[in-house]
């Protein structure tokens, strides 16, 4: 059997894979089994922050791998402690819980918010408000948090205690806060899976103010937008707000499974021993990789992310066949006249890999993608959109 047949026979049928097998890569260039080269604008859905097989990251990971790969959270190890310190120092958050994925980071945030609300307001205050068209993960609680009906249909009953209001509708959010006893409001600053839709700054500020006035926990889901993706370390930093909880994952580990829930002053001591945990969470190898990733997301790199973003926005905005460009930093969505899936197929043919989000083309290149590759790939996409 060839690889595609083995995969289709034995792997659960949950992914509509592109018809491409990737066998190796370097940075933002990857190669299939025939040696064909592709420029990668997917970075593993925003995970390989510095591209594939990045030398510095590989060195950091292998050094830790050869020292100790796992000890459990019953012992002290240095990489998770150092990473938590770096995350707190760069955000003003106070404590970190490490998980292994975005969904798990959100699970932690949901549990912290519920416990805080139960302790301060009583056990009947547990409802978490999220937005219509949001995406927060695939576990039952995070699926229930996700404001997209089509993900819910086959998995009833969902976890109770989630309500959804439309993005950028502050009045609807205020009305829901009166109607329900809200424990938390949870937002993505740019809805990623929902179609790369940034929230309006006034809405985000208004939601944050409402949370502050009513002692409602503000959770910002930075699983996709975090770790330099939008041109600042975290996207919320461009909205002039200070969340109580920030969940992140994807780019943080640079390619190894790692999620984190950052806790602000108000909720830093909510979790006590036994309240939450994870066998793998804060794994030393994943954290050693993340330390390398995070230490390289400095002002210079963020400036380059913003410059490449501006270049792409400019050339795509001027292109025939592209109706709109949305997003922030190197998280961009293109609304095209032609069908997005057909455009992606034409791009693959010409050696460029990109993603979709709803009916848009979604670009999530590595943060350090060289400008020559940005230009080369943009020309291919523009041509395919004509
Ligand atoms: C990808 C994503 C998640 C889920 O992350 P997993 O690592 O797949 O569990 C949650 N929230 C947002 C905003 C995401 O983009």
Q: How many domains does the chain have?
A: 2
pLDDT category, 119, cuts 50, 70, 90?
very high
pLDDT tens across 123-156, in order? 999 999 999 999 999 999 999 999 999 999 999 9
Do 34 and 65 lie in one domain? The reply is no
Residue 36 CA, ligand 1 centroid: distance in Å = 30
Do 47 and 65 lie in one domain? The reply is no
> In this structure, are residues 288 and 64 in contact, taking their beta carbons and an 8 Å threshold?
yes
pTM exceeding the 0.95 threshold for the entire prediction: yes
Q: How far is CA 385 from CA 86, 203, 347, 360, 363, in A?
A: 42, 33, 9, 12, 14
Give, using CA atoms, the residue closest to atom 6 of ligand 1: 102
Segment 327-339 shows an average pLDDT of 98
pLDDT at residue 307, as a whole number: 98
Segment 106-116 shows an average pLDDT of 98
pLDDT tens across 199-242, in order? 999 999 999 999 999 999 999 999 999 999 999 999 999 999 99
Ligand 1 close to Cβ of residue 226 (< 6 A):
no
Average pLDDT of the chain?
A: 98
pLDDT at residue 9, as a whole number: 97
Do 46 and 73 lie in one domain? The reply is no
Ligand 1 close to Cβ of residue 101 (< 6 A):
yes
The number of angstroms, rounded, from the C-alpha of 39 to the middle of its chain's C-alpha atoms is: 21
Residue 102 CA, ligand 1 centroid: distance in Å = 4
Do 139 and 175 lie in one domain? The reply is yes
Do 190 and 138 lie in one domain? The reply is yes
Domain boundary among 263, 296, 329: 296
Ligand 1 close to Cβ of residue 103 (< 6 A):
yes
Give, using CA atoms, the residue closest to atom 8 of ligand 1: 102
Q: How far is CA 89 from CA 1, 98, 144, 262, in A?
A: 52, 16, 32, 11
Do 193 and 319 lie in one domain? The reply is no
pLDDT category, 8, cuts 50, 70, 90?
very high
> In this structure, are residues 71 and 80 in contact, taking their beta carbons and an 8 Å threshold?
no
Do 141 and 284 lie in one domain? The reply is yes
Segment 276-305 shows an average pLDDT of 98
Ligand 1 close to Cβ of residue 331 (< 6 A):
no
How crowded is the C-beta side of 87, counted as CA atoms within 13 Å? 32
> In this structure, are residues 238 and 205 in contact, taking their beta carbons and an 8 Å threshold?
no
pLDDT at residue 105, as a whole number: 98
Residue 379 CA, ligand 1 centroid: distance in Å = 30
Do 319 and 367 lie in one domain? The reply is yes
Segment 22-40 shows an average pLDDT of 98
pLDDT at residue 187, as a whole number: 98
1, pLDDT greater than 90:
no
Ligand 1 close to Cβ of residue 219 (< 6 A):
no
- Mutate which of 42, 135, 188 to test ligand 1's pocket (most atoms within 8 Å of Cβ)? 135
Do 271 and 369 lie in one domain? The reply is no
Domain boundary among 266, 296, 326: 296
> In this structure, are residues 369 and 308 in contact, taking their beta carbons and an 8 Å threshold?
yes
Q: CATH code at 125?
A: 3.40.640.10
Q: Which residue range forms the structural domain that includes residue 211?
A: 57-296
pLDDT at residue 185, as a whole number: 98
- Mutate which of 144, 146, 224, 246 to test ligand 1's pocket (most atoms within 8 Å of Cβ)? 224
Do 204 and 108 lie in one domain? The reply is yes
Do 44 and 63 lie in one domain? The reply is no
Of all atoms in ligand 1, which is nearest to the CA of residue 134?
Answer: 13
Please state, in angstroms and rounded to a whole number, the distance separating the CA atoms of residues 234 and 230. 7
Do 159 and 86 lie in one domain? The reply is yes
Q: CATH code at 14?
A: 3.90.1150.10
Please state, in angstroms and rounded to a whole number, the distance separating the CA atoms of residues 158 and 126. 15
Domain boundary among 271, 296, 321: 296
């Amino acid at each position: 059997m060839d690889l595609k047949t083995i995969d289709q026979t034995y792997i659960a049928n949950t992914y509509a894979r592109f018809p491409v097998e990737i066998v190796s890569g370097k940075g933002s260039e990857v190669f299939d089994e025939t040696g064909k080269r592709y420029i990668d604008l997917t970075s593993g859905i925003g995970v390989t922050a510095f591209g594939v097989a990045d030398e510095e990251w590989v060195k950091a990971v292998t050094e830790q791998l050869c020292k100790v790969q796992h000890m459990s959270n019953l012992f002290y190890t240095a990489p998770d402690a150092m990473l938590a310190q770096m995350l707190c120092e760069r955000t003003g958050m106070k404590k970190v819980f490490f998980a292994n994925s975005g969904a798990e980071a959100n699970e932690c945030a949901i549990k912290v918010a519920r416990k805080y609300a139960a302790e301060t307001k009583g056990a009947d205050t547990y409802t978490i408000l999220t937005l219509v068209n949001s995406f927060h993960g695939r576990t039952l609680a995070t699926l229930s948090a996700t404001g997209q009906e089509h993900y819910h249909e086959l998995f009833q009953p969902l976890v109770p205690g989630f309500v959804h209001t439309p993005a950028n509708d502050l009045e609807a959010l205020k009305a829901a806060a009166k109607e329900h006893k809200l424990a938390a409001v949870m937002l993505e600053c740019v809805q990623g899976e929902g179609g790369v839709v940034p929230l309006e700054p006034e809405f985000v500020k208004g939601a944050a103010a409402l949370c502050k006035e009513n002692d409602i926990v503000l959770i910002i889901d930075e699983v996709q937008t975090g770790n330099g993706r939008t041109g600042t370390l975290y996207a919320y930093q461009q909205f002039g707000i200070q969340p109580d909880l920030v969940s992140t994952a994807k780019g943080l580990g640079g390619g190894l499974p790692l999620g984190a829930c950052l806790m602000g002053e108000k909720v830093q001591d909510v979790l006590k021993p036994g309240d939450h945990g994870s066998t793998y969470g804060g794994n030393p190898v994943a954290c050693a990789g993340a330390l390398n990733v995070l230490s390289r997301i400095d002002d210079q790199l963020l400036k380059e992310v913003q410059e490449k973003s501006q270049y792409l926005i400019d050339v795509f905005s001027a292109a025939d066949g592209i109706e709109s460009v949305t997003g922030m930093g190197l998280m961009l969505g293109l609304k095209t006249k032609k069908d997005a899936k057909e455009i992606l197929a034409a791009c693959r043919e010409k050696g460029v890999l990109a993603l979709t989000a709803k009916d848009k083309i979604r670009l999530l290149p590595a943060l350090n993608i060289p400008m020559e590759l940005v230009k080369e790939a943009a020309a291919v996409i523009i041509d395919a959109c004509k």
